[in-house]
Each structure stands twice: as C-alpha cells, then as structure tokens.
Amino acid sequence: MMIQNIFKGIKAYAGTFKLISSLGLWKYFAIPVLISLVTASLIGVSAWVWSDNIANGIDTLWVWEWGAQGFHTVAEVIGGIVILVFGLILYKHIVMALSAPFMSPVSSSIERHFLGQQHAHRDTSNASQLWRGIRINVRNLSMELLITIPLLILSLVPVLNIITTVLIFLLQAYYAGFGNMDYTLERHYGYRESVQFVKKNKGVAIGNGIIFIIMLVIPVIGVILVLPLSVTASSTETIRLIQEKK
C-alpha cells in the first residue's frame, strides 16, 4: 500500500504544466519563485563559506599524522553532505512557510476546478495562512532535525551509510510532501487533524517529495519550477484523498 501511494504521489505530477496554464495559475507563483531563488542563493553562499570550516572541524578528530590527508578528503565529503542535507532542510521549510499565502489560492483554484459546486471549505485570511505555514514548518523542521542528526552520525559507519543516505532522502521527501499537502489541508482541517491526515497518507507525501527533492538538483530551473509543479501535483492528490475520506 505504501509503495502504491508513493507512485500515486509521483504520478500526480503528470499534466501539472497543462493544469497550471489552463487555470491561469502562473501569476500566483511570481513571488514564491522569487522567495525560492533568494533563499537558495543565500543557502548556497553560506554553504560555500562554511564548507572548509566544517571540514577543518572534522579534521581535529584525527590526531595522527599518518593518513591525515586521506582523512581530510573524507572530512570534505562529510562536510559537503552535512551542508547539502541541512541546506535542503532549511530551504524547503523557509520557502514553504513564506509561500503559504500565495499557494493557498492555487490549491483553492484547483479544488474549485475539480469539484465545482462541491467546493466547500473554511475561509482563511492571508495572515492565518502565513501563521499556519510557519507553525507547520517549524514543527516539521524540529521533527526532521531530531531524526536527521542521528542518521548523519550513523552515516560515518561504512556500509551503514548507504542505508542512512536512503533514509535521509526519504525523510526529506516526506516533509517536503507534507508541506505541499498542507496548502490544501489548511482549508479543511485544523492543525492536529492535518498532521494525522498526512501520517495516514505518508506514501503520497513521500512520492510528491521525491520529485520535489530531485528537481532541486537541476540548476536554476529546478528552483524556479519546484513550487509550481509540486504544489499543483500535491493539491490534485490531496483533494482526491479528502474526497475519499468523506
């Protein structure tokens, strides 16, 4: 069931370009895309500045002269992974929280398109959407760090690091999908109900987040398109899940 839901989350990306264009939703993404570009740039610069410092800090763990150069190379790799992981974590939560007031109209338009007269939900203000986005993403950021840090420590163990890398990727995907789903859920459910809803449909969240994370690997274009496509895909699938629950 989990695997099927992951594929459903991925499959929802099909036709997103066409849906965004037909509903005239591109205009809503202007400011979120700007937020995405600025945030990605700031995190990228910070990573460049701190990468050597992290590697040098790890170097201090090796007190012997022999193998020092090899350990430094390993330290640089570990430092790069740490920066990449924490950079992605910070990026997605900052962007998702600040984009909430702009993504809610997108999700609402998609819901109206599919449900027509059945389109019924709570009215929420921009301020409440922003606060909801901040609250959800601070909660998710805390949970993600709580799990990610031990996994990063375990990744220092050879062979085991293969498993931890996969787990970290899936964890990143889950919380990315979580944030995207909440743009729709905030109109239907309270905070706690939404958390429970995503937990019950974590496969869909992971599927949505997998493409989200992969898109960020694409230079510039990925950062520009990641929100429009992932939010649209998530909205269509979340609406379906809400209707099934009803």
- 120 pLDDT higher than 60: no
pLDDT at residue 118 greater than cutoff 80: no
| Helix, strand, coil fractions of the chain, as percent rounded to 5 | 85, 0, 15
**CB contact at 8 A, 74 and 46:** no
pLDDT tens per residue across span 183-225: 999 888 888 999 999 999 999 999 999 999 999 888 888 888 8
Rama region for 130: left / alpha / beta (φ>0; ψ in -120 to 50; rest): alpha
What integer is the mean pLDDT of 71-79?
Answer: 70
Q: What are phi and psi of 186, to 5 degrees?
A: -65, -20
pLDDT of 62 reads 65
Q: Which residue has the higher pLDDT, 147 or 67?
A: 147
Q: Where are the domains positioned within the chain?
A: 2-245
**Predicted pLDDT of residue 71:** 67
Q: Residue 196: its pLDDT value, please?
A: 95
Helices (H) and strands (E) in the chain, counts: 9, 0
pLDDT at 61: 65
* Angle at CA of residue 27, ends 231 and 34, nearest 5°: 75
Tell me the backbone φ, ψ of residue 32, rounded to 5 degrees: -55, -40
CA distance 108 to 127: 16
Residue with tokens 């570009």: 37
Q: Is the pLDDT of residue 70 over 90?
A: no
Using CA atoms, how far apart are residues 180 and 159, in angstroms rounded to an integer?
33
Distances (CA, A) of 138 to 29, 47, 56, 88, 188: 22, 21, 30, 15, 20
